[in-house]
Amino acid sequence: MATTKTSTAQWLTLSAAFLGWMLDGLEQGLFPLIARPALQEMLSVQGDREVGLWMGWLTAFFLLGAAAGGAAFGWLGDKIGRVKAMGLSILAYSLFTGACYFATAPWHLAAFRFLAALGMGGQWSLGVALVMETWPERHRPILAGAIGAAANVGFLLIGAIAYLFPISAGSWRWIMLVGAAPALLTFFIQFYVPESKRWQQSAAAASVRPFHLLFAAGMRKRLAIAITLSSVVLIGTWGSVQWMPLWADRLTGGTDPAAKAMTSMILSCGAILGGFLGSFLAKFGRRPSYCLFCLVTYGLCWVLFHQVTTYGAAFIILCFFVGAFSCTFYGWLPLYLPELFPTNIRATAQGVSYNSGRILAAAGAIGAGQLVSYYEGSYARMGLAITVIYLLGAIVIWAAPETKGRPLPD
């Protein structure tokens, strides 16, 4: 009987984390689809120089909000529990995404995206901590892959919706209301998902002071490594890969609204595969797998941005592979980051490290917007410049500890 109860609890925690991160991905995937038509409507322009500038700032506001939310909700998860904090984070990102429906100026979008991102930033660290603390060690690689793929299932869903109902300058608002739907998930989480026993034992054993412990001498180096590795991934994603639907829209001259939805769907299909591929290859060593992902992703991005000049088969095929390999990291990070930190600071540490990467990615997004303007609307030339960050990651990883085969630290 005890085994059955434990098994039920494990599946409930995995379901909550998967759905929470999947719907987080759906929320994130909304914006690349509506950004260009929404900004063109609000700015009364058709070109991409002003759109690119504002897209950079809006992405930066989102990433800064996610960084703040990751630290705040991660701390909250270590203080009051993973489950309660997760429910609050989902409620925040749902309601404020829905509020974008009422935006009438670009700064309105920036404000609502910042507030929604507070919840999105917390969801990742809380879900990863809850699942990794609830399931046995032997299941962690496949679970990391599932969590890594979850957000991209959300990206795929919103891409499919946008493909069936193309988004234009006159029809982008309704899809923001879709973003309010995940608020319903909070009821399931609060009433049916059990709290992490590991967290309960840790919280009962001592007074929890996550930030004090996180910045203690023994943790600072690991925190710096986690921030750097996360930053490489997030700058690459938000500084270039997330701009591909806008690039597709530009390549078609805005005459094919379904092109950006198709691009988003193709990227998402590749990304789902990449999440599982990342966690699978990590079993052969955390450091060599991360290095491999960096080199392959950079090579694919170089070919895509340097060689492709029209929207067609080559663009679609390369987007699939770029989506796959740029998202191997999102199966690798849920496996590696929990292995760096003990239970009593795990959610805080993951929130700080992953979302500090988002702060640097925010700078990258602003820089990407500036580059699009500098290159007179060329998303390809911007992408070539930003993705050099993956070469830095291929070097830095060798300074990180190898944790393959080690249990989660208590």
Q: What pLDDT digit, counting tens, does each position of 322-368 carry?
A: 999 998 998 898 889 888 888 777 777 877 787 777 777 777 777 77
pLDDT at 300: 94
Rounded mean pLDDT, 122-146: 81
Summarised one tens digit per residue, pLDDT across range 20-78 is 888 888 877 777 778 778 888 888 776 667 777 787 788 788 888 888 888 788 888 88
Rounded mean pLDDT, 145-149: 81
Summarised one tens digit per residue, pLDDT across range 166-222 is 777 677 888 888 778 888 888 888 788 888 888 787 776 665 566 667 777 677 888
Rounded percentage of the chain residues whose pLDDT exceeds 70: 94
pLDDT at 210: 65
Check: pTM over 0.85? Answer yes or no.
Answer: no
Q: Map tokens 């504002």 to a residue.
A: 54
Please report, for the chain, the start and end positions of each structural domain, with discontinuous segments joined by +.
8-192+202-399
Rounded mean pLDDT, 386-398: 93
Q: Map tokens 């309704």 to a residue.
A: 174
Please say if the pLDDT value at position 230 is more than 70: yes
CA distance 356 to 340: 16
Asked: is 8-192+202-399 a CATH 3.90.550.10 domain? The reply is no
Residues 6 or more apart whose Cβ sits within 8 Å of residue 255: none
